[in-house]
Structure 1
Amino acid sequence: MGELRNCPKCNGFFNYNGIREICSKCAAQEEEQYQIVYRFLRKRENRAATVERIVEATEVEQELLYKWVRKGRLQTALFPNLGYPCDNCGHLTSVGKICDHCQKSLKGDLNKFEAAQEFREAVQKSEKATYLSERRPKK
């Protein structure tokens, strides 16, 4: 059994079942808007439209476009100028949460950190080493 929640769009009550975050009335409105966007993008001259152009032509919220791209309803293989903002820098990406540039930057920082950590460990090991300078004869 689901829980009773308020719809974030219309503030009406709905039975949340873990699938949709909005009520069925708002979900139906979103589906109508999706069909408008999809019909717009199916036209050959609109396939390379940017997010801003789609919003301007269809009057659909930008966040809905991002949501549909994230969920895979609008595929970037078919519509190459679509994407959603990188969580780090805000540039458009179509895979994951961060763009390629931010991924490379984070990987570089991680590699530097790991190298520095290995160096510190090597220094600590060398400082702990015991050296014998001469052997004393046993008495």
Structure 2
Amino acid sequence: MTLNVANCQRCGKVYLKNMYGMCGNCIKEIDLQYDKCLKYLREFRSCSITELSEATGVSHQLITKFIREGRISIKGNPNMTYDCEVCGTAIRENTMCEPCRSKLAKETNQMHEDENRKKLREAQENHNTFKIQDRLKDRF
């Protein structure tokens, strides 16, 4: 018999497991902070993420999380940007800026090419066996 309890990721209290990974109090607190952000954004559409954080008292990381989850849309807010996860450049979509994405794709392709070359080299080094067909090809 297993208990469906865990410790809250935010406050450490024991709670019944749910899909959020947090206790009910922390979920309510985050929802209240989300509501604060929405109310402020409705009034001040041209604010930046720093201004939003300072005005509402909600952390920069939590606002970024709301944006990435799709809870806050930045399409109607022209000055709203958040940081690229790799280099910290200001972006308006995805989790990485275009240069970081292309660099990642290039490195991934390079890794696959290296693996293929390594497999081919190993196959050539281990090609010490001969088949009867190979002997017959030499005769004709």
TM bucket (normalised to shorter chain) is 0.5 to 0.7
The structural deviation recorded for 1:47 is 1.0
- Which of 92, 97, 109 lines up with 2:95 in the alignment? 97
2-side partners of 1:84 and 1:5: how far apart?
A: 32
Q: Secondary structure at 1:39's aligned position in 2?
A: helix
Where in structure 1 are there 5+ consecutive unaligned residues?
Answer: 125-139
Aligned to 2:7: 6
Where in structure 2 are there 5+ consecutive unaligned residues?
Answer: 122-140
Give the direction of change, closer, same or farther, for the CA distance of 1:48–1:105 in structure 2 (3 Å limit): farther
CA RMSD for the aligned pairs? 2.8
Moved over 6 A (4+): none
Alignment: residue pair count = 115
1-side partners of 2:22 and 2:54: how far apart?
A: 25
Give the direction of change, closer, same or farther, for the CA distance of 1:107–1:21 in structure 2 (3 Å limit): same
Any conservation in 1 of the 2:68–2:95 contact (CA below 8 Å)?
Answer: no
**Letter of the 2:74 counterpart:** T
Aligned to 1:34: 34
2-side partners of 1:80 and 1:71: how far apart?
A: 19
Any conservation in 1 of the 2:82–2:92 contact (CA below 8 Å)?
Answer: yes
Give the direction of change, closer, same or farther, for the CA distance of 1:82–1:21 in structure 2 (3 Å limit): farther
The structural deviation recorded for 1:48 is 2.0
- Mapping for residues 37-76 of structure 1, pairs under 5 Å: 37-43=37-43, 46-76=44-74
